[in-house]
Structure 1
Amino acid sequence: MAEHIAVKNFREYLRIPTVQPNVNYDSCVEFLKKMAKSLDLPCKVYEPVRNKPIVVITWVGTNPNQPTLLLNSHMDVVPVFREKWTHDPFGAEKDANGNIYARGAQDMKCVGIQYIEAIRRLKEKGVKLNRTIHMSFVPDEEIGGEDGMGAWSQTEDFKELNVGCALDEGMASPDETYVVFYAERSIWQVHIHCTGTPGHGSLLFPDTAGEKMRRVIDAFMDYRSKQKQKLESTPGLTIGDVVTVNLTRVKGGVQNNVVPPELVVGFDCRLPPSTDLEEFDKFINDTCKAAGKGVYPEFQQKQTASDITKLDNSNPWWVTFKDVTDGLGMKMKHAIFPGGTDSRFVRMMGIPAFGFSPMNKTPVLLHDHDEFLSESTFLTGLDIYVKLIPALANS
């Protein structure tokens, strides 16, 4: 029996190793041009940042002056540790149960192909849509997206698309529910520099960098413990509703018998929209001050408050989205995305965006070893988009 064309194209896309860092997107761009040609649709490639292409496939609607629907996905994937995989991470191997293994199977080449194949099916049925649809395939989301959607969203090329609403990535759900994300947490990544008295490792100097760093770590870990307790003790909360704090880097020192003049500890912090950012900034500064002289923060990222897409009757796009999922009998959860996606750049432009990847009864394996998506779940998600896309485009 011949393999479904959508599955065939999905596996071909997965075999293109657009893996960070320093991605060469040429093969990916050529694949997407081929997909556009197979749909008989125009394809444009923008490059707001050198070697960071944006591919846009457009299906013009019958009323092209209406705000358009943007179907966004990213082309890049995170690195792999091959020794941890039981399948070739870029082989797109399918096992006897129909599980397709590859980096990007969930995050998020599945969604990009589902967009393409939904449009293919709609065109084959002779469906006409009022709004124009743009399918965008962007680079570098996995390293922050600043040179991808971040740069492109500030250009006249993007503004000329007249986007009224966007769909972007969500996350798998291990139970029968589907999750739609309406906001994201702000990312704060901070390095705390702890300077102190250096000298020989056999002595007890005052005010060493190590002592100061311990005070900093204790304060951050205490904050983390309180947030963890809040999450565990409050029914209905998800990880996106609390502040996460994780110690991710420790730098400094030259050898064990030398007390260093400086140690640096790095923390990754994710702040939900409800967070008082001034208060959290004060916590960091107060922690540094209490740790001792010569302790100060250096921010790698310090995002402003996250924009929110309203999930109520004031947002007609949401009313349509909900009508479709209700009509399909889908059990939906609404959540704040725990990480960061390109949706934040779209929402910053005042455009409503839904983070949605139709993968239920599926373990969450984005960035994990042996990332996979079952063929049946992939095709079910395709069926959902065949209903959702025209409803939004004709709303």
Structure 2
Amino acid sequence: MSLTDTTIALLQNLIQNGCVNYLTADSGQETKNADTLEAFFAGTDVRVERYEPHPGRVSIAFTVEGTDPSAEPLTLLGHTDVVPVDEDKWTHDPFGGEIVDGRVFGRGATDMLYITAAMAACVRDVARGERPRGTLTFVGCADEEARGGLGAAWLADHADFSWANCLSEEGGSHLPAADGSDALVVVVGEKGAGQRRLTVHGDAGHGSAPFGRDMAVAKIAEVARRVAAIEPDLRSDDIWEGYVRAWKFDPDTEAALLAGSGYDAFGQLESYSHAMSHLTISPTVLRAGGAINVLPSVAWMELDIRPLPGQTQEEIDALLRDALGEIADDVEITHLITEDGSVSPTSGPLYDAILSTFNEFFPDVPVVPTIAAGGSDLRFARRKGGVGYGFALHGRGETLGSVLGELHSHDESAAVEDVDLTVRAYRSLIRRFVGA
């Protein structure tokens, strides 16, 4: 069986295990995918380490020791959990792993089980041959979809593998440049988290007599209106400017985008491109009351806020208070999950290996560094002093927009062509970087 066929079969098994993360401690049950991966590596000369910080929430690492302790190590971080599904919205079995019209369907097919399967297949292939010069590790991480508290965040403090050079999701899709030329995306960083809960208080009372009452619901509605009206400033840097120029727009469009307007020029990537260049604030949860005949005395809303690398939590609070104006003193601001954004350099041995690998498959195509709007396990590598990049490879027809559109979608799928390209690209990069 070819390496690609092996990867597709493993991908189907991982999908079928249905390790759904409902953002609760007892969900996920990634032990099923850990068991599948451990069976997959059976009979190979790898060091296997299982980590279980909570029952059923298993991450598993497979390490092929290098022959040269001074050689650069490489760690591949693939997560094994997936997000929930609305089954009635799917036309394919979300946990079937069916192949239809050249695509593998199933929850997690794109996010990120096709990459996880490719990583595992390539590391097993190395383990069956001569030892590499540098140490190579593949990790099936639990709990990535809940920001890694029972996965990579825990592993960063307890696991015994290198974080110096890491690869994970997502990269290698194409930018649809305005002149029809090609460009490849590599993810070099990601936004952080600045989650907030905004709470207001009012008068309790009977719903039949609202006159003269200080209404918490009315107050939180005004808070929501003011927050929704916030328009953070453009944050321009070399990555943003390089991204805009890679599209090869006409001079007027390019100038407008560099100044922070005209995002509709990006088409399907309008929202992503805006998020890549701005702090974003999304009101996502609103709560007040419990009985229809009782005036609630408290109401709150929660905000999914994503800062860019370099933007601080203090800046976020100042922005919120400025928007709230004269009612700011009546609003309690509570920090929920807060994490700084992170970015790796567009230079160095691993980055150069990525460029060389892309050039092998798509000769002379420019590579465009980008910042992910969401999170990944790579931020933990960066916090520990390592570098981390999103790496995969897609066919020419798979744009950054089409790949992002698959994430968490109904009928999520990955193209068989992309599975093949990704496994071959990983095998090539591994050979290039650790001498396997």
TM-score (norm 1): 0.88
CA 1:259–1:225: 2 relative to 1, 3 Å: farther
| Partners of 1:212 and 1:295 within 8 A in 2 | no
| Partners of 1:212 and 1:292 within 8 A in 2 | no
Q: 1:339 offset after TM fit, Å?
A: 0.6
What's the CA shift string for 1:47-106, capped at 9, x where partnerless?
3455432211111222144342100111110011100100110000111x2111001100
Aligned to 2:219: 212
**What SS does the corresponding residue of 2:58 show, helix, strand or coil?**
strand
Instruction: Give the alignment partner of residue 193 of structure 2, picking from 172, 180, 187.
Output: 187
Q: 1:205 offset after TM fit, Å?
A: 2.5
Aligned to 2:210: 203
**What SS does the corresponding residue of 2:36 show, helix, strand or coil?**
helix
| Partners of 2:171 and 2:392 within 8 A in 1 | yes
- In the alignment, is residue 291 of structure 1 matched against residue 312 of structure 2? no
- In the alignment, is residue 343 of structure 1 matched against residue 378 of structure 2? yes
Q: Pairwise mapping of residues 80-99 of structure 1 onto structure 2 (< 5 A)? A: 80-95=85-100, 97-99=101-103
Q: 1:293 offset after TM fit, Å?
A: 5.2
Aligned to 1:275: 311
**What SS does the corresponding residue of 1:4 show, helix, strand or coil?**
helix
Aligned to 1:168: 168
**What SS does the corresponding residue of 2:68 show, helix, strand or coil?**
coil
CA 1:42–1:385: 2 relative to 1, 3 Å: same
Aligned to 1:308: 343
**What SS does the corresponding residue of 1:27 show, helix, strand or coil?**
helix
What's the CA shift string for 1:252-278, capped at 9, x where partnerless?
123445432111111111111143542
Q: 1:227 offset after TM fit, Å?
A: 6.9
What's the CA shift string for 1:21-57, capped at 9, x where partnerless?
3122332222111111154433221234554322111
CA 1:151–1:273: 2 relative to 1, 3 Å: same
Mean CA deviation greater in 200-209 or 331-340: 200-209
Between the aligned partners of 1:301 and 1:316, the Cα distance in structure 2 is 33
Q: 1:301 offset after TM fit, Å?
A: 1.1
Counterpart amino acid of residue 230 in structure 2: Y
Q: 1:171 offset after TM fit, Å?
A: 5.5
CA 1:84–1:239: 2 relative to 1, 3 Å: same
- In the alignment, is residue 131 of structure 1 matched against residue 134 of structure 2? yes
CA 1:143–1:276: 2 relative to 1, 3 Å: closer
Q: 1:394 offset after TM fit, Å?
A: 3.7
CA 1:227–1:264: 2 relative to 1, 3 Å: farther
Between the aligned partners of 1:293 and 1:152, the Cα distance in structure 2 is 40
Q: 1:196 offset after TM fit, Å?
A: 1.4
| Partners of 2:73 and 2:162 within 8 A in 1 | yes
Mean CA deviation greater in 367-376 or 170-179: 170-179
- In the alignment, is residue 9 of structure 1 matched against residue 19 of structure 2? no
Instruction: Give the alignment partner of residue 233 of structure 1, picking from 262, 268, 279.
Output: 262
- In the alignment, is residue 117 of structure 1 matched against residue 111 of structure 2? no
- What is the RMSD of the two structures over their aligned residues, measured on CA atoms? 2.8
Mean CA deviation greater in 60-69 or 259-268: 60-69
Between the aligned partners of 2:49 and 2:217, the Cα distance in structure 1 is 54
| Partners of 2:283 and 2:304 within 8 A in 1 | yes
Between the aligned partners of 1:343 and 1:222, the Cα distance in structure 2 is 32
| Partners of 1:67 and 1:162 within 8 A in 2 | no
CA 1:12–1:331: 2 relative to 1, 3 Å: farther
TM-score (norm 2): 0.80
| Partners of 1:188 and 1:300 within 8 A in 2 | yes
Identity of paired residues, percent? 23
| Partners of 1:20 and 1:79 within 8 A in 2 | yes
- Counting matched residue pairs gives 387
Between the aligned partners of 1:394 and 1:264, the Cα distance in structure 2 is 55
CA 1:39–1:373: 2 relative to 1, 3 Å: farther
Counterpart amino acid of residue 354 in structure 1: Y
Instruction: Give the alignment partner of residue 317 of structure 1, picking from 334, 345, 350.
Output: 350
Q: 1:141 offset after TM fit, Å?
A: 0.6
Aligned to 2:279: 243
Structure 1: stretches of 5+ with no match in the other structure = none
Q: 1:210 offset after TM fit, Å?
A: 2.6
CA 1:88–1:73: 2 relative to 1, 3 Å: same
What's the CA shift string for 1:328-374, capped at 9, x where partnerless?
32553311111111111111001000022323534221111100011
